[in-house]
Amino acid sequence: MITKKGITASPGVAIGSVLVLDTEEYRIPRRTIDVVQLPGQIRNLDAALEASRQEVSELRMAAARKLGDETAVIFDFHEQFISDPKLRDGVVALIEKHHYTAAFAFGQVMNQRQRQFQDIPDPYLKERVRDLFDIEKRVLRHVLGRAREDMTRLTEPVIIVANDITPSQAILLDRQHTLGFAINVGGQTSHTSIIARMLGIPAVVALNDITADVAGGELLVVDGTNGIVVANPDKETIARYEEQRRNYERFAGKLRALRDEPAITRDGVPIQLLANIEVPQEAEHAFESGAEGIGLYRTELLFLATPRIPSEEEQYEAFRKVAQAADGKPVIIRTIDLGADKLSPAMGPQHDHNPVLGLRSLRYCLLHLDMFKMHLRAILRASVEGDVRIMFPMISSVMELRQAKATLADVMEDLEEEGIPFRRDIPIGMMVETPAAALLSTTFTREAAFLSIGTNDLTQYTLAVDRANERVAHLYSAHNPAVLKLIHQVIRAAHRRKVAVSLCGEMAGTAIYCQLLLGLGLQSMSMAPADIPSIKRVIRATTMEHCQMIARKVMQFDADRQVLNYLRDEFRGLDPEDQS
């Protein structure tokens, strides 16, 4: 029995027999050829590059289908790299100058590039050398006319052991028969690890020489949660990991099964769980995860994706898609929250000395009324397609909210004159994300139809901590008593005036905060779709009475450390067998 520690790449436990992937490296002998053969070598190179490009293009489409555009970007780049004339020129120059074979010349060029990557201190960019190996292997395979290795049709469930699994191999893994994988190289951020996580295959990477420690057919345990592999485990070890595997799968299965269960506490209080989305395509995923509506549609991405301001039609199309996907469920569209860390090229250079406190978000919109009005028109036009609501961000004074509402009224008038339909009584709400808005929440409840607490910014502004600044990031905590007091105040103000209140910061999707937030009186939360099952699990395991006790206790603490320790204990006590 050998136990080895690597880096966890994808959680879960897999136990199974090993398939050592042939990690044959192409060693190309240095060979020079006769001048008359040179054109043939160049034709061979061109054919190989084109065949490789096509292959990668297919991979890109497969990746987009299976895992979404995020992953497809990897292969998009591979394709561009392979079709880069500079790459071809470099290889052709070597062929012509030294009379090398196409294979050797190509290997030389790639080798040189890979060496430059070996010494980079930056771990993320350094990992990109794996992509260079992937590209090299693919093109050489075509130059040499070899068949492609096939991991797509495995006949029995196996654990794949290899020196490296390239991103393109990972994407083609036969999910049904691949229990897990363990590889010599790689890191948490290598594309292969990212793909493993998305496919839900347990994986451990950076094991140095796992290929030397196991042989095909031997039994291997891959503990992706802890980054450990055990080769040839004894009986007790197998039993222990079998149990872990069952626990993990039961836990994952429970979360999946929760999808169609209501989010309701054990003493019968229903809680509304909404989803935060950034692009229309996410809406469907949100509803599949059990969301009862879209609590925060961040519209900035529309503006960040292109160098110019998106047209009214483009914006309308995006909003309409989400409203239709919601099928009558509420969709809260937040008006553009650009500025600070989110800058659109169309905004032009920003000269704020302190952008977080500068001309951002609604402030920017109120100064750029043409752009803002076009945005509001698109939202209003989409409002007839479903239960669309509108929400203004970053408000710190009542005047700002009034100005925004006046602008909206102007746009409504325009639409009316033009005879374009929209929902006149569209609910108008606001984010509470500045301490000013939280302190004046009673005032705001008279002017807004609903409030949504944005805890990310509220925490940053209350504690005067920029969490992107690593020197002070440790001071950032949403459970700081000062932040909690503000949240509590907002919820109470809303309840008194019977105005709907929700919370849409990261806090809403963090399971340990859930009982506290319910105890503070929150009955609606909006979070990343992926967080919905784990939050629902907490809600269904607790009672409102218990949550209120937790909240009373927490509000007496002076330090964020105390709050966190207490909340962790309460979270663990919830359903101990499920915490594995």
Partner 1 sequence: MERMDPRVAVEREIVIPNKEGLHFRPIMQFVDIAQRFASGLTVHCEDRQADGRSPMEMLMLIATQGARVRVVADGTDAEELITELIGLVESGFGET
Q: Which residues does the annotation mark as catalytic? A: 191, 504
By the rule CB under 8 A, 417 interacts with partner 1: no
Separation between Cα atoms, residue 348 and residue 370, nearest integer Å: 15
Among the residue ranges 252-260, 304-312, 325-333, 512-520, the one whose residues contact partner 1 (CB under 8 A): 304-312
Q: Cβ atoms within 10 A of the Cβ of 539, count?
A: 24
In 3D space, the residue among 199, 212, 142 whose CA is nearest the CA of residue 169 turns out to be 199
Q: What residues from 549 to 578 belong to the interface with partner 1 (CB under 8 A)?
A: none
Residue number with CB closer to partner 1 (126 or 285): 126
Range list of H helices, 327-397: 361-367, 369-382
In order, the DSSP letters of 187-232 are -TTSHHHHHHHHHT--EEE--SSHHHH--TT-EEEEETTTTEEEES
By the rule CB under 8 A, 345 interacts with partner 1: yes
DSSP lists the bridge partners of residue 85 as none
By the rule CB under 8 A, 215 interacts with partner 1: no
Place of tokens 């009982």: 515
Separation between Cα atoms, residue 416 and residue 252, nearest integer Å: 51
Report the run of H or E that residue 133 belongs to, with start and end: helix 129-143
Find all residues with CB under 8 Å of 118, minimum gap 6, and list them.
126, 129
By the rule CB under 8 A, 415 interacts with partner 1: no
Q: What residues from 315 to 344 belong to the interface with partner 1 (CB under 8 A)?
A: 341-344
Rounded to the nearest 10 degrees, what angle do helices 38-67 and 102-118 cross at?
50
By the rule CB under 8 A, 50 interacts with partner 1: no
**Burial call 64-77: b when 16+ CB within 10 Å, e when fewer:** beebeeebbebbbe
By the rule CB under 8 A, 254 interacts with partner 1: no
**Least distance (Å) between residue 197 CB and partner 1:** 17
How many residues touch partner 1 (CB under 8 A)? 34
Question: Which two tokens mark 400?
Answer: 């700002």
Strand segments, DSSP code E, in 342-417 are 387-392
Residue number with CB closer to partner 1 (166 or 383): 166
Q: What residues from 122 to 151 belong to the interface with partner 1 (CB under 8 A)?
A: 122, 124-125, 128, 131
* Among 349, 370, 419, 446, interactor with partner 1 by CB under 8 A: 349
Residue number with CB closer to partner 1 (29 or 307): 307
Residue number with CB closer to partner 1 (93 or 305): 305
* Among 5, 99, 113, 254, interactor with partner 1 by CB under 8 A: 113
- State residue 575 phi and psi, 5-degree precision: -165, 75
In 3D space, the residue among 378, 440, 365 whose CA is nearest the CA of residue 406 turns out to be 365
Q: What residues from 474 to 533 belong to the interface with partner 1 (CB under 8 A)?
A: none
By the rule CB under 8 A, 32 interacts with partner 1: no
Separation between Cα atoms, residue 373 and residue 384, nearest integer Å: 18
In three-state secondary structure terms, 114 is helix
Residue number with CB closer to partner 1 (301 or 436): 301
**Least distance (Å) between residue 90 CB and partner 1:** 9
**Least distance (Å) between residue 124 CB and partner 1:** 5
N- to C-terminal Cα distance for the chain? 24
Question: Which two tokens mark 244?
Answer: 């872990």
For residue 164, give Cα distances in angstroms to 22, 129, 206: 10, 12, 9
Among the residue ranges 84-92, 95-103, 400-408, 555-563, the one whose residues contact partner 1 (CB under 8 A): 84-92
In three-state secondary structure terms, 9 is strand
**Burial call 146-159: b when 16+ CB within 10 Å, e when fewer:** eeeeebeeeeeebb
* Among 54, 111, 116, 469, interactor with partner 1 by CB under 8 A: 116
By the rule CB under 8 A, 152 interacts with partner 1: no
By the rule CB under 8 A, 26 interacts with partner 1: no
By the rule CB under 8 A, 467 interacts with partner 1: no
Give, as one character, the DSSP assignment of residue 33.
Answer: -
Residue number with CB closer to partner 1 (345 or 573): 345
* Among 12, 48, 81, 433, interactor with partner 1 by CB under 8 A: 81
Q: Cβ atoms within 10 A of the Cβ of 384, count?
A: 14
Separation between Cα atoms, residue 541 and residue 33, nearest integer Å: 74
Q: Cβ atoms within 10 A of the Cβ of 235, count?
A: 7
By the rule CB under 8 A, 305 interacts with partner 1: yes
By the rule CB under 8 A, 198 interacts with partner 1: no
**Least distance (Å) between residue 81 CB and partner 1:** 5
Residue number with CB closer to partner 1 (86 or 97): 86
**Least distance (Å) between residue 391 CB and partner 1:** 22
Q: What residues from 283 to 302 belong to the interface with partner 1 (CB under 8 A)?
A: 301
By the rule CB under 8 A, 350 interacts with partner 1: yes
Residue number with CB closer to partner 1 (54 or 80): 80
**Least distance (Å) between residue 341 CB and partner 1:** 7
**Least distance (Å) between residue 100 CB and partner 1:** 19
By the rule CB under 8 A, 348 interacts with partner 1: yes
Question: Which two tokens mark 493?
Answer: 């103000």
Question: Which two tokens mark 550?
Answer: 């937790």
**Least distance (Å) between residue 425 CB and partner 1:** 35
Which residue type, as a one-letter code, is found at position 177?
H
Q: Summarize as ranges the residues that interact with partner 1 (CB under 8 A).
A: 73-74, 76-77, 80-81, 84-87, 113, 116-117, 120-122, 124-125, 128, 131, 301, 304-305, 307, 341-346, 348-350, 468
